[in-house]
Structure 1
Amino acid sequence: MSEKNMQFTRYEDNNNVWLSKNSDQEITFTDYGIKPTVLNSEAEVGKAMLNELYQTAASKEGDINIALLGGRGAQELHRLLGELAKSSEQDDLFARLNVFTQDALAPMGMSNGFSFVRDFERILGEDFFKKIKSFTPMRTDTKDLESAFMEYLTKLEDLGGLDIFFIGHGPEENQASHLAYIKPFSGAQYHNVAGIIPISSSILEHHISKFKAGGSVVSESDEKECRSAEFILTLGPAAILHAKKVVQSVVDASTAPAKVQTFSNVLSTQLSSDKDELMKQLNANPGLWIRLHPNSKSFVLPDLGL
């Protein structure tokens, strides 16, 4: 076993593989709730997310480590960053950015048009990736997914963890939800920094249709390879809880109406004061994990009905 692999504890729960840092610390299970900020447009949400990045940049020196949000939730932020990268206005900020992805389908070629990496490149643009300090995606093109994942996690840990975890809100069955791709009943616990989760055909169909609707350039061979993906790689609860700031955006309830109820459930669920019961609640509805973070922001649109 390599030295980097010895830094992690691994366990399986119903075919879900979860990784924990051997040095992970206990957390205080405090319910901080969520107080969403309702904005009028996706463009306003993008500006609010960018302002959170500016605030972090102003409050610390040195590198800034962020996890990009895939899908619709951060596209306006990414467009803004892409436009800024075409000028020299924020070159000093870009030079400080260590950028990570937070989830991925695997196995799949890194050049596949259905990968989040290609989507980030499409919207953020070539100039952005030339100017940032580093970009570290989850590797999906290797037979040894776990070892590659551990290398990714080790780099994130060595850089000091995430300053901002840009995160979304995904609806699930039974009015539950996921964060990153922590799925209901996947067995994720507070000390799990990442997981490898079996994928379902319904997730693949949703992913493929979402990318096609979003304008991604894809081929038949890309789609065939994507449909053969078996796993989801995802950051876990520990990565969320240990991030210095969590910035959530929910902008597509009009096209994903299930989010109206699932997000409402995250806001209104009474969290148990009993740790064992709380763990059951979080396992059944992982969208609740954000309520345990002391420094989170949630930017949403009026179509959530709040």
Structure 2
Amino acid sequence: MTINSKFTRYEDNNNIWLSQEREQGFNFTDHGITPTVLSSEAEVGQAMLNELYSTVKSKEGDINIALLGGRGAQELHRLLGELAKSSQQDDLLARLNVFTQDALAPLSMDNSFSFVRDFERILGDAFFKKIKSFTPMRTDTKDIESALVEYLTKLEELGGLDIFFIGHGPEENQASHLAYIKPFSGAQSHHIAGIIPISSTILEHHISKFKAGGSLVNESDEKECRSAEYILTLGPAAILQAKKIVQSVVDADSAPSKIKTYANVLNTQLSSNKEEAVLQLNTNPGLWIRLHPNTKSFVLPNLGL
């Protein structure tokens, strides 16, 4: 596999991580999380849209966002899809550079279990016609690493993410993942993206999440999805360098383990000792969100907070 000179490649226990050549120093300051409990998924979607509106007001030119897959942002996507059918926010949509944040691979881009198809289903044709650009992680190529470098190069050239819309995924031992940064995958603060071997538990979670979210799925797509070998994911550097993090957790009813895993992230303070903090983050990557100074976390009462 080739690697662009702008990125450095690390391999750790079959996990491949890419870093920008000009690594940015990072301050390990624990900012904690202050969740905002809203009464419905519709309110969470509106709150997320309001965060986009506030970024649009405070910045000129392009707005770069990473879409969240699965249930977490479906209401936001429905709202954006409705706006795209009208002309009231055409100026905003024309400024949007939209990126995906994770993917299973290898997987054909039109597989019903791919995030791209789910985005197309909910956001609708009008949205994709009106935005400035859409850059998914390619999952249908033999050279996944080079395709990921192309994706990262575009993200870097556009100046990084203005908003990283992010979720919260449950893991064993009351740990969690952000994007698809898995426990013990060796992700560090300078890693911008990674390629991680897939586990059967992740595949099961992914498939059940898509079915619960209302995706129109079929047997052959499910079979292809179950044969995926890797997870492509943005890494901690992409999270930490984003200008704003907007988290949503809305599906604790169908994924009840999130009640404990979210509480764990909320209540675990990161050690002031950097080496200990690195160990905590590797054990429970959901904690990376605590290191971002500009985070909103929108949740429902079913998290039991």
Fold equivalence (TM over 0.5): yes
Give the structure 2 partner of residue 117 of structure 1.
116
- Displacement of 1:71 after TM fit? 0.3
After the TM superposition, which residues 254-293 of structure 1 pair with which residues of structure 2 at under 5 Å, given as runs?
A: 254-293=253-292
CA deviations over 1:85-132 (Å, ceiling 9, x no partner) = 000000000000000000000001111111000000000001000000
- Displacement of 1:172 after TM fit? 0.5
- Displacement of 1:224 after TM fit? 1.6
TM-score by length of 2: 0.98
Give the structure 1 partner of residue 80 of structure 2.
81
The separation in 1 between residues aligned to 2:281 and 2:91, in whole angstroms, is 39
The amino acid of 1:200's aligned partner reads S
- Displacement of 1:270 after TM fit? 2.3
- Displacement of 1:221 after TM fit? 2.0
Describe the SS at the equivalent of 2:5.
Answer: helix
RMSD, aligned α-carbons: 1.0
- Displacement of 1:218 after TM fit? 2.4
Give the structure 2 partner of residue 22 of structure 1.
21
The amino acid of 1:49's aligned partner reads M
TM-score by length of 1: 0.98
The amino acid of 1:77's aligned partner reads L
Give the structure 1 partner of residue 156 of structure 2.
157
The amino acid of 2:58's aligned partner reads S
Q: Does 1:204 align with 2:203?
A: yes
Give the structure 1 partner of residue 166 of structure 2.
167
CA deviations over 1:121-180 (Å, ceiling 9, x no partner) = 000001000000000000000000000000000000000000000000011000000000
Question: Which ranges of structure 1 fall in alignment gaps of 5 or more residues?
Answer: none
Q: Does 1:233 align with 2:235?
A: no
CA deviations over 1:245-266 (Å, ceiling 9, x no partner) = 0000011111111111111111
The separation in 1 between residues aligned to 2:79 and 2:93, in whole angstroms, is 13
The separation in 2 between residues aligned to 1:22 and 1:31, in whole angstroms, is 26
Give the structure 2 partner of residue 39 of structure 1.
38
Question: Percent identity of the aligned residues?
Answer: 82
The separation in 2 between residues aligned to 1:260 and 1:287, in whole angstroms, is 13
Describe the SS at the equivalent of 2:31.
Answer: coil
After the TM superposition, which residues 65-144 of structure 1 pair with which residues of structure 2 at under 5 Å, given as runs?
A: 65-144=64-143
CA deviations over 1:67-92 (Å, ceiling 9, x no partner) = 00000000000000000100000000
Contact 2:106 2:230 in 1 (8 A): yes
- Displacement of 1:223 after TM fit? 1.5
The amino acid of 1:175's aligned partner reads Q
Ranges of 4+ aligned residues in structure 1 off by more than 4 Å: none
Stretch of structure 1 that moved more, 63-72 or 269-278 = 269-278
Give the structure 2 partner of residue 305 of structure 1.
304
- Displacement of 1:207 after TM fit? 1.4
- Displacement of 1:208 after TM fit? 1.6
The separation in 1 between residues aligned to 2:178 and 2:62, in whole angstroms, is 25
The separation in 1 between residues aligned to 2:200 and 2:233, in whole angstroms, is 17
Question: Which ranges of structure 2 fall in alignment gaps of 5 or more residues?
Answer: none
Stretch of structure 1 that moved more, 197-206 or 210-219 = 210-219
Contact 2:30 2:269 in 1 (8 A): no
Describe the SS at the equivalent of 2:16.
Answer: strand
The separation in 1 between residues aligned to 2:226 and 2:81, in whole angstroms, is 30
The separation in 2 between residues aligned to 1:203 and 1:31, in whole angstroms, is 28
The amino acid of 2:158's aligned partner reads L
The separation in 2 between residues aligned to 1:186 and 1:294, in whole angstroms, is 24
Number of residue pairs aligned between Structure 1 and Structure 2: 305
- Displacement of 1:58 after TM fit? 0.3
The separation in 1 between residues aligned to 2:141 and 2:151, in whole angstroms, is 13
The separation in 2 between residues aligned to 1:84 and 1:112, in whole angstroms, is 26
CA deviations over 1:270-302 (Å, ceiling 9, x no partner) = 211111110000000000000100101000011
The amino acid of 2:284's aligned partner reads N
Contact 2:32 2:269 in 1 (8 A): no
